[in-house]
Chains A and B, each alone.
Chain A
Amino acid sequence: KNEVEQSPQNLTAQEGEFITINCSYSVGISALHWLQQHPGGGIVSLFMLSSGKKKHGRLIATINIQEKHSSLHITASHPRDSAVYICAVTTPQGGSEKLVFGKGTKLTVNP
């Protein structure tokens, strides 16, 4: 079992819909990251959070430490939101830290 699981793997939505992407993890973490990978391949860091909720424009990221779960929400989705969204966790390991990635969720927003 992967330490970081994302669902769904693929998601298709119509423009304007509210979108939720989920991330569950099975290890203790010091931070959780959401990344966006554009169709051209570029990667952008969207959020880094260790508790509560963060908001940036139409994107909202939440985390529940007790349930080991995070969600990424996109309000009023737009075709330009089409991308792969990747969840990653920073987990303490032997005095250092390890970064573990989920496999990503491919989002397609149709006009």
Chain B
Amino acid sequence: DAGVIQSPRHEVTEMGQEVTLRCKPISGHNSLFWYRQTMMRGLELLIYFNNNVPIDDSGMPEDRFSAKMPNASFSTLKIQPSEPRDSAVYFCASSLEPSGVFSSYEQYFGPGTRLTVT
């Protein structure tokens, strides 16, 4: 298997623009997670899906952020409008978790998307 695939790997955009990050989880995995990593705050969970349904989006910083999972093999994280403080590395991960919790199966991380908003 190719592992979790994220695109683009790097994104540079200007403040106010819309940004869409993409993720393809490992085939057969039931849960998908979006994380953000910054120097100041470290890794933070933004949202996670189980069987394509959003389970917990309490980590999404504000209404400018939205995530979708239209099918089992694709998810997007959108920021509109983007701001310089959104600059970070965004990771997607997937696991076999059957019920949307974190306690039973390890997560497999994608390579991340480095976002720079100028």
The distance in angstroms between the C-alpha atoms of A41 and B6, with both chains bound, is 13
Indicate if A88 sits at the interface (CB-CB under 8 A): yes
Please state if A48 and B43 are interface contacts (CB–CB under 8 Å). no
- Let me know if A90 and B43 touch, CB within 8 A: no
Render B87-118 as a binary contact track against A, CB cut-off 8 A, 1 for contact.
00101010000001111011111011010000
A-B contact count (CB 8 A): 53
Q: Interface size (B, Cβ < 8 Å)?
A: 22
> Contacting chain B: which of A13-21, A57-65, A95-103?
A95-103
Question: B42 to A103, Cβ gap below 8 A?
Answer: yes
Q: Which residues of B contact A104 (CB under 8 A)?
A: 42-43
Closest to A4 in B: B42
Taking CB atoms and an 8 Å cut-off, the chain A residues in 27-72 that contact chain B are 30-31, 33, 41-45, 48, 50
Contact A42 B43 (CB under 8 A): no
Q: What residues on B are CB-neighbors of A30 within 8 Å? A: 101-103
Q: Flag A75-92 by CB within 8 Å of B: 1 or 0 each.
A: 000000000001010100
For the complex, is B18 an interface residue (Cβ under 8 Å from A)?
Answer: no
Task: Judge whether B12 is part of the interface by a CB distance below 8 angstroms.
Answer: no
B116 to chain A, nearest CB (A): 14
Chain B residues lying within 8 Å of A88, measured Cβ to Cβ, are: 43
Min CB distance, B53 to chain A, in Å? Answer: 13
Q: Are B102's CB and A45's CB within 8 A?
A: no
Given contacts A43-B93, A45-B107, 9 further A-B contacts (CB under 8 A): A30-B102, A30-B103, A41-B114, A42-B112, A43-B112, A45-B108, A86-B42, A96-B101, A97-B102
User: Which 4 residue pairs across A and B have the least CB separation, nearest first?
Assistant: A43-B109, A45-B106, A90-B102, A31-B103
Interface residues of A (CB under 8 A from B): 30-31, 33, 41-45, 48, 50, 86, 88, 90, 96-99, 101-104
